[in-house]
Amino acid sequence: MTPEGHAALKELLKEKKAEIMRLAKAIGEAAEEGDLKENAEYHAARERQGIVKAQVDEIEDKLARAEVIDTSGMRGERVAFGAWVTLEDTDKGDSVTYRIVGADEADVEAGSISVTSPIARAMINREVGDEVKVKTPGGVRTYEVVDVRWRDA
């Protein structure tokens, strides 16, 4: 996991714990209204509290098992975890840039892909100028590694 991903996960944990506190207050207020059998607000808050508690447990487990890899001192043109890699589709000429991150940080729309994804696995240890072949549902695609950098630009 990158340091940024670790920090984001810690922030999410903080938000979820705050939500549990708000839900506990809502449950207390709903319980004061009397008959709990027909109190929809009470039951909805209890259900949501259970879901959020499960999310907190999952996040805490991920943080406990996380291996944070600081890539700030990394250099070079070889693709590795934490790098921003620009690829050019050799058939279409389109280019795309991804950052290779841990599985829990991956967000394709934000430009980050999991180190375990097929395209990242194909790129690892490649250098600028290398061709990368990736199996996709539409067939094999060929990309050229055109840039590797270690800081977002």
Q: What residues does each domain of the chain span?
A: 3-65, 84-149
Q: What is the pLDDT of residue 152?
A: 64
Q: What is the pLDDT of residue 43?
A: 82
**Tell me: domain 84-149, CATH 3.20.20.70, correct?**
no
- Report the predicted TM-score, pTM, of the whole model to 2 decimal places: 0.71
Low-confidence ranges of the chain (pLDDT < 50): none
Q: What is the pLDDT of residue 34?
A: 67
Q: Do the domains 3-65 and 84-149 sit in the same CATH topology, yes or no?
A: no
Distance CA 125, CA 78 (A): 5
For the chain, give the longest Cα–Cα distance.
Answer: 71
Q: How does pLDDT run across 15-45, given as a tens digit for each residue?
A: 999 999 999 988 888 777 766 666 777 888 8
Distance CA 11, CA 17 (A): 10
Residue 12 vs residues 2, 34, 52, 57, 110: alpha-carbon distances, Å = 15, 34, 11, 12, 17
Quickly name the fold that domain 3-65 has: Helix Hairpins (1.10.287)
Q: How many CB atoms lie within 10 A of CB 22?
A: 13
Distance CA 62, CA 102 (A): 11
Task: Using DSSP, state whether 142 is helix, strand or coil.
Answer: strand
Distance CA 93, CA 113 (A): 21
Q: What is the pLDDT of residue 55?
A: 95
Distance CA 70, CA 7 (A): 12
Q: What is the pLDDT of residue 30?
A: 76
